[in-house]
Structure 1
Amino acid sequence: MTHPDRYRYAPWDNGPDPLAPPVDLRAALDRLGRDIMDGSSPRSALDELLRSGTDTTAGLDDLTRRLWERRARIQRRNNLDGTLREVRELLDRALDAERTALFPDPSDDARFREAQLDALPPGTAGAVRDLAAYDWRSDEARANYQRIRDLLGQELMESRFQGMKQALSEVRPEDVERIKAMMADLNALLLSHLRGEDTKDQFAKFMRDHGEFFPENPRTVEELIDALAARAAAAQRMMNSMSDRQRAELQELLAGAFGDPRLADQVSTLDANLRALRPGEDWTSSARFRGDDPLGLGEGAQAMADLAELDALAEQLAQSYPGARLEDIDLEALERQLGDEAVVDARRLADLERELRDQGLLERAADGTLRLSPKALRRLGEAALTDVISTLRARRAPGTPAAGAAGEPTGSTRPWQFGDTEPWDVPRTIRNAVLRSGPGDIRIDVTDVEVVETEQRSRAAVALCVDTSWSMVQDNRWIPMKRTALALHHLIQTRFRGDDLQLITFGRHATTVDIGTLTALEGVWEQGTNLHHALLLAGRHLRGNPDAQPVVLVVTDGEPTAHLEPDGTAEFNYPTTPRTLRKTLAEVDRLARLGTSLSVFKLGDDPRLAQFVDLVARRGGGRVVNPDLDGLGPAVVGDYLRSRRAR
């Protein structure tokens, strides 16, 4: 039994990193909120967050850039004639050694052999072919020629079976026989599978007999085919990338791999079987290599496999296909291509996406679109309100009391009751505790607590009318407007729940919206500032709350240029017409008769708007505030709190 005060340590099993910093959901949500309020859809905002990353995590765009840089490096640094070069070097060494051995010999046989060497074709493949039956005089020359055959066999096997060249670093005759036996059994297995036969037992026997050639240890014949087809297709793409001369010469050389043409025939049969079993693999494309670093046949096949893997990773990182998720990214492939740090970044991004969903900050609407959840909107509203309150406190004149949820103190106290939010009367609370417990150890009991009695708060019906015409977007007033609505909405929902807030947007027409719709609202090109329609909807909201104090707050950057006709159509004119002004001011008068506290927040310095809002203030007894963009939220929230104190 383990002692409870002791700890057990074990190696990390490649699961979640226990030392990784926690996902910063608040910062991510702030980013999402800014983009959404700027007009992006929640899906687009999330995509942009994942693409750009965070302060501590590289985004998908940065990972993709590094993939393309690696891809370009592979093609820019390498060329595909490594095997041809190495064969040519071995051939030249063999010929030089043979001529050196023949030169001192005065016999006719030596001159005849020299003549044979002089008559060799100029091409490497032709020379190697014609020397197959040559009886070498020099042991060194014979060894170099044998190295050519072994090299071609190693490269041919490496191009189809990764790691084979290293396993065959020293080629013995029995190794070649084992390879030929494996190839024969492999082609028999694939042919049976291609005919639709049950190959389960045949596959098991094949792996028992030849499993040493497959360190990846495929568990089924399908896994075996997938691995072989991907490698064979990469080798074919490498051949496609060569010049016609290089390809023809290499194919002729490979016919003599290990000195046995039957091996090349087996490889050709293997490729044909794999093409039939996996026609969806890329067997036809090519790539351009323009560097100086020569790659052998096996290295070239690996380079082509790397290019294909890089392309697949780029597609996964693009997340552009239906149902894409960051969990789709092949982390093992990403580690092979970009290293451990890229895997850490990809995991953090996936964790961020998952946490946003699991924490309920993003949800699917009925139509399948992604949207911010009420929980996320509350967090955004809390952040917006915090900023507003901080600004209000910074701008408050010395001695100005802070705005609070309770009314003004009446001068009396009462015992605390469950649910009270009024401040404690500390002296009376302490006095009650002393009287109850006597001298000595004084402990405050809940029955001792008295709170400051405040004036009864009255309900308010609040209509926030926000201008959504194109000029608000064009002049960068869109996000401040939305943050203002979020802050006011959050304040009323959390501090003044008895008040009834109605959000109204107005462009060519006006409409009532919820906070989620307003937050996600996209700016569209629409001419018209129909304040008349907005005030009509505001009046309907106020009359629906006859027991509440009516408050209307209007945020706009332009004079009214549209009004609503009796048939419901909106008539637009710029500059505005007397008819539009008369109808708008008539609604101002109706609101005034309801005793409405009307405040207009004028954005910008449009002189025609200034004349209009001054007229509204005189007709409706309201207030006009001309805040800058940073001060819009504090101005609106401060005005709302001022109206509450006035009540």
Structure 2
Amino acid sequence: MSVHNRSRYGRYTGGPDPLAPPVDLAEALEAVAEDVMAGYSPRHALQEFLRRGGRSREGLDDLAGRVQQRRSDLLSRHRLDGTLSEVQKLLDTAVLEERKQFARDVRMDDTDRALREMQLQNLPKSTAAAVNELASYDWQSSTAREAYERIKDLLGREILDQRFAGMKQALEGATEEDRAAVAEMLQDLNELLDKHRRGEDADADFQEFMAKHGQFFPENPQSVEELIDALAQRAAAAQRMLRSMSAEQREELMRLSAQAFGSPELMAQLGQLDANLQALRPGEDWSGSERFEGEEGLGLGDGTGVLQDLAELDELAEQLSQSYNGSRLDDLDLDALARQLGQDAAVSARTLAEIEKAMHDGGFLQRGADGDLKLSPQAMRRLGRSLLRDTAKQLSGRQGRRDTRVAGAAGEQTGSSRQWEFGDAEPWDVTRTITNAIRRTIADGGDPGRGLRLAVGDIEVTETEARTQAAVVLLADVSFSMAAEGRWVPMKRTALALHHLVTTRFRGDRLQLITFGRYAQSMDIGELTSLPALREQGTNLHHGLLLAGRFFRQHPSMQPVLLVVTDGEPTAHLLADGDSWFNWPPDPETIRVTIAELDRLGRAGTQATFFRLGDDPGLERFVQRMARRIDGRVVAPDAGDLGAAVVGEYLRAHFRGRPYDDADWAT
């Protein structure tokens, strides 16, 4: 293959990867919901997820840490005397070459040689003072003169590089004509800024200026304002660099600046430029400073660039903190992040921004009547499906697959059929019945084409499994001990899984969620999910049973199923006036009225299961006594197994103790 036809492939750098899969919200939604169930607001929960990141994704805190590390590296690697060091080296070279010329020039007058040697010997220790003293010196060595002139050239390029990035390299080896072009640009620039500063229309002047001097501005500003922004940021960084130097270093540079290009007019133009920029952009940081402690010397231009980097890093740190009013990840400057930390950091930040946007715009978070963000019904369904899937795995692993069915009773079809027996009322399986008649007719030597006569033995009926519609109450203890002992979130996860199972797989059933603390109240799944833990004394099971009985009476044709999750004995009951009466240890009257209400539920045929959390002996005795009175069951799961235990008991009660198939409800 010809080399001209070969293709090269590399990492896509033109923005978001167009072939990347859509962002997966499952992990974010589960993490946010977990924090919401623990008591955080949805807004705070989302912010916490974005800060932590995902299992394989950097979060805002990781990126902020990298920003801080980059900042520390810049400060610990560099020092700001690079230009002074270069000037000192050129000065030493010039003096050494001049002395060599003295030794070579035998025709030089001895007196003149002695005077010159004395002048070089007695130069001030200050680099700036020595350079200024030699400004009028008549160099005998052309090499020495060239080295000294390079000091002026270096200073001019460095000082310009402070204001215009890249000038140091662009003006290396520049001619007098090049320097004149720079001087003309500075004069025109100050005239443009003066006019804009006075409030006059300078758009046409800007276009003319860029047409004439655009080569000095690789940023390609599109307006006067953009030009001022770019220049002011650089000039402010230059001021911060000077303030970051020691007083001796600043004094040396100020004295040396007069030698820049051998042109005092240059410094006057730059001084006017700084004044204009400070007046036009007073909000820039013109007075800050940094502490550099490294070994790598920086020139004025490079040092200014580092100060710009530090300012950009500080701005990124603020953006990543998301601590200001109205903060959104859309505020992140991804280009700056890529410059400072690399493209991978920009990709991570972009992904986090897409997650935030998708959570808001995708319908997973919505504003309630009070204006606060809440998990939407769509989010609750998705979360419930995930939790139910986890519960199914726990049940399958703990109890194995249950696939035995009960046939012969009215209910839902199983997909199977059986031979008809006397008394069966199920519908015929017509296909199997006709098939049986055809086979029998052929076996008897008959011709099915001439007609069929059915025999009793041909008939098959559709198998069904008995499914009783149930009115289900999940009574959840929300006393503070549930949160204090780490049972708060498992309780809510259990309610979500059960709610999703009933509303998606057993729609004929009715589910009521009732919480009981000092008082009991019915809640929808959204309210229970976001319910905060309250430091409230009281476990009012009596009130919860009263509400459960009311719900069962509203569905008289359904089988009542009661599921009670608690970690403490009843310590409160409802008085006749509606107040809650609390006492610890449990008062006999509280126990009496609680048991009396339970007995009423038992007489109505309620199937009850008590889920005892914790190892409190008093609670164990109480729930065993309660279960015996109502012919119910007691289950003592760990908090992590609560969901599987409750769902398993619901299914057991729903199928009246008969085996069932996980595949029916876990998909």
> In structure 2, what is the Cα distance between the partners aligned to 1:528 and 1:285?
58
Per the alignment, residue 486 of structure 2 pairs with 476
Q: Work out whether residues 412 and 452 of structure 1, in 8 Å CA contact, stay in contact via their aligned partners in 2.
A: no
The within-5 A match list for 1:87-486 is 87-103=87-103, 104=105, 105-396=108-399, 401=404, 408-410=406-408, 422-423=414-415, 425=417, 429=431, 432=434, 452-454=462-464, 457-486=467-496
Deviation at 1:387, TM superposition (A): 2.1
CA distance in 2, matches of 1:398, 1:85: 80
Query: What is the rounded CA distance, in whole Å, between the counterparts of 2:430 and 2:10 in structure 1?
Result: 59
More divergent stretch after superposition (553-562 vs 570-579): 570-579
Q: For the residues of structure 2 that align with 1:399 and 1:95, how far apart are their CA atoms?
A: 98
Alpha-carbon separation, structure 2, partners of 1:199 and 1:273: 15
Number of matched residues?
619
Letter in 2 for 1:73: D
Distance 2:526 2:293 in 1: 55
Q: 1:98 to 1:503 in 2, by over 3 A?
A: same
Which amino acid is the alignment partner of residue 634 of structure 1?
A
**What amino acid maps onto 1:272 in structure 2?**
A
- Asked whether the equivalents of residues 614 and 624 of structure 1 are also in contact (C-alpha less than 8 Å), the reply is yes
- The answer to whether residue 600 in structure 2 is matched with residue 623 in structure 1 is no
The aligned counterpart of 1:488 is 498
- SS, match of residue 308 in structure 1: helix
**Distance across 2 between alignment mates of 1:290 and 1:140:** 35
Q: 1: CA distance between counterparts of 2:561 and 2:55?
A: 42
- What do you get for the CA RMSD once the two structures are aligned? 2.7
After TM superposition, give the deviation of residue 268 of structure 1 in Å. Answer: 1.1
1:24 maps to a residue whose letter is D
Offset of residue 383 of structure 1: 1.6
**2 CA distance for matches of 1:526 and 1:412?**
48
For residue 646 of structure 1, give the secondary structure of its aligned residue in structure 2. coil
For 2:381 and 2:294, locate their aligned partners in 1 and report how far apart those are by CA, in whole Å.
57
Deviation at 1:208? 0.7
Preserved contact between residue 422 and residue 451 of structure 1 (Cα < 8 Å) = no
Q: Please report how far the alpha carbon of residue 459 of structure 1 lies from its aligned counterpart in structure 2 after TM superposition.
A: 3.2
* 1:508-587 equivalent positions in 2, closer than 5 A: 508-587=518-597
How far apart, in 2, do the equivalents of 1:551 and 1:356 lie? 36
Return the letter of the residue paired with 2:628. R
Question: For the residues of structure 2 that align with 1:71 and 1:433, how far apart are their CA atoms?
Answer: 82
Q: Indicate the residue corresponding to 1:50 in structure 2.
A: 50
Distance 1:107 1:288 in 2: 51
Which residue identity lines up with residue 199 of structure 2 in the other structure? G
**Alpha-carbon distance, 1:595 to partner:** 2.7
The counterpart of 1:504, out of the listed 514, 525, 537, is 514
- Normalising to structure 2: TM-score of the pair? 0.87
Q: Where in structure 1 are there 5+ consecutive unaligned residues?
A: 1-8, 403-407, 414-419, 441-449
Task: Using the TM superposition, give the Cα deviation of residue 521 of structure 1 relative to its aligned residue in structure 2, in angstroms.
Answer: 2.4
**Cα 1:72–1:589 shift into 2, 3 Å:** same
Alpha-carbon offset, residue 96 of structure 1: 1.5
In 2: Cα distance, 1:336 partner to 1:399 partner: 59
Equivalent position SS for 2:634: strand
Shift in alpha-carbon separation, 1:433–1:373, aligned structure 2, 3 A: farther
- Mapped to 1, the partners of 2:102 and 2:188 lie a distance apart of 45
Q: Do the aligned partners of residues 376 and 76 (structure 1) sit closer, same or farther apart at CA in structure 2, a change above 3 Å counting?
A: same
**What per-residue deviation string (whole Å, max 9, x for no partner) do you get for residues 346-405 of structure 1?**
222223333333432233334443322211211211122122223323333687637xxx
Partners of 2:188 and 2:337 in 1: CA distance: 34
Distance (Å, rounded) in 2 between the aligned partners of 1:519 and 1:89: 72
- Indicate how the Cα distance of structure 1 residues 330 and 101 shifts in structure 2: closer, same or farther if over 3 A, else same: same
Match of residue 4 from structure 1: none
- Taking the aligned partners of 1:29 and 1:555, their CA distance within structure 2 comes to 26
Shift of 1:10: 13
For 1:499 and 1:164, the matched residues in 2 are separated by 78
Q: Does the 8 Å CA contact 2:50/2:60 hold for their aligned counterparts?
A: yes
* Separation (CA, whole Å) in 1 of partners of 2:355 and 2:551: 41
Task: Select 2:610's aligned residue among 596, 600, 604.
Answer: 600
What SS does the corresponding residue of 1:86 show, helix, strand or coil? helix
Which amino acid is the alignment partner of residue 36 of structure 1?
Answer: V
Provide the C-alpha distance between the structure 2 equivalents of 1:399 and 1:341, rounded to a whole number of angstroms: 49
- Quote how far apart the aligned CAs of 1:131 are: 1.6
Assess if the C-alpha contact under 8 Å between 2:16 and 2:347 holds in 1.
no
With 502-511 and 83-92 compared, the bigger mean Cα shift is at: 502-511
The match for 2:664 is none
CA contact (8 A) 1:529 1:560 kept: yes
- 74-83 or 534-543, which moves further after superposition? 534-543
Report the CA distance between 1:270 and its aligned residue: 0.9
Amino acid at match of 1:164: M
- Asked if 2 retains the 8 angstrom alpha-carbon contact of 1:554 and 1:599, the reply is yes
Write the distance in 1 (CA, Å) between the matches of 2:368 and 2:151.
67
2 CA distance for matches of 1:93 and 1:10?
A: 48
**Aligned to 2:92, what secondary structure does the other structure show?**
helix
Structure 2: distance between partners of 1:260 and 1:638 = 90
Residues 95 and 266 of structure 1: is their aligned pair in 2 closer, same or farther, counting only changes over 3 Å?
same
Aligned equivalents of 1:284 and 1:451: distance in 2?
92
CA distance in 1, matches of 2:251, 2:192: 30
Structure 2 residue matching 1:595: 3-state secondary structure: coil
Residues 169-226 of structure 1: per-residue CA shift (max 9 Å, x gap): 2121111111111111111111111111111001111101110000110000000011
1:80 aligned partner: 80
Letter in 2 for 1:87: V
**1:576–1:11 Cα change, 3 Å:** closer
